[in-house]
Amino acid sequence: MTENTEATWFRDKFDAIRAEIQKAIVGQHEIVENVLICLAANGHVLLEGMPGLGKTLLVRTLASAVSVDFGRIQFTPDLMPADVTGTNVLSEGRVFEFRKGPIFANILLADEINRATPKTQSALLEAMQERCVTVGGKRHVLEEPFLVMATQNPIEQEGTYPLPEAQLDRFFFKVLVPYPTKEELAEVVMRTTGSTEAAPSAVASREDVMKMRSIVREVPIAQAVLDYALSIVVACHPEGETASPAARRFCNFGPSPRGAQSLITAGKVHALLAGRFNVAKEDIRKAVKPALRHRILLNFEADAEGMSADRVLEETIAAVDTSDRDPIKV
């Protein structure tokens, strides 16, 4: 098999971080991989799952494994933007000085993000997109890498504020955290009820993360694969000429261009993880659901028929695959 130093290094580093995380997190391989993809692709991740599935632990463990600054904000309805970004306080020297909020970290855990008011949620918008915050008219740049890992649970909707589309669109991936299997649960119980507790060690530095990000961007993608990814994105737009039947029926709005960017970048990481030096359609397909499921807005008919975003995406992929034929018929 052909080898490349950069690719090998990337894969090794990725596997090392994953291995450290797996020390604390039982199972959930896909979730871990997707979170790490977001780390490598310079994207934020929204974890959605029932309480107690290890979302917070996952993020914390990741911060430990990567050896970067970790910040955590527990979102509540009375949380104010300044509690997130930081504020100017009058110091002893009678001078206003900026006291950084928890957002000034390399990895920020925004726990139960949907419990905060939209005003507070919006405090994250600039930080997530621009990698900076503006307080008191002064712009404060966040240190790279900056990764927001938000969690929310799909139940207990009373007293919550669903994230607005603009906010959702800033998340690179939306990862659904499933219940562990029986075997995984047994392992979790064994690990957490014993006398010893796993302590992940740091296996990657901040520079390593930055290097991983630069490597990802170098992965080439063929025009045909790019067309395929864009076809999927466009097919999710219900008003488009090439909209898939499912999107036309169940979607109000399709993904933004950020969705296409996420798709391609995630595809590149998948390619490297698969030991290839090019993005394949297979990589794109793997990335479709986490990259686009929070970027399409379903209509009432979808709700009425119990249609999920993931099913709409599956049908859209199938429709695009059907039209993507072998150019040589023999």
The DSSP call for residue 115 is G
Nearer to another protein, 163 or 279 (CB): 279
> How does strand 171-177 pair with strand 44-49?
parallel
Taking the complex as a whole, how short is the minimal distance between the CB of residue 265 and another protein, in angstroms?
15
Shorter beta-carbon distance to another protein: residue 82 or 274: 274
CA distance 320 to 206: 39
State in angstroms the smallest separation of the CB of 268 from another protein.
Answer: 10
- For another protein, the closer of residues 149 and 229 by Cβ is 229
Nearer to another protein, 199 or 222 (CB): 222
Select 306 or 327, whichever has its Cβ closest to another protein. 327
Between CA 47 and CA 53, with CA 51 as vertex, the angle to 5 degrees is: 70
CB of 211 to another protein, least distance (A): 12
Are 203 and 17 in contact, with CB atoms under 8 Å apart?
yes
Q: Please state, as a whole number, how many other Cβ atoms lie within 10 Å of the Cβ of residue 12.
A: 11
Which secondary structure element, helix H or strand E, spans residue 97, and what is its range? Answer: strand 96-100
User: Could you tell me the smallest distance in angstroms from the CB atom of residue 224 to another protein?
Assistant: 5
Cβ(179)–Cβ(50) below 8 Å: yes
> What minimum distance in Å lies between the beta carbon of 78 and another protein?
49
Q: Point out which residues bind another protein (CB under 8 A).
A: 1-4, 6-7, 215, 218-225, 274, 276-282, 326-330
DSSP character at residue 202: P
Q: Which is nearer to another protein, 253 or 277 (CB)?
A: 277
107 has which bridge partners?
A: 70, 147
User: Minimum distance from CB of 241 to another protein (Å)?
Assistant: 23
Provide the residue type at 307 as one letter.
M
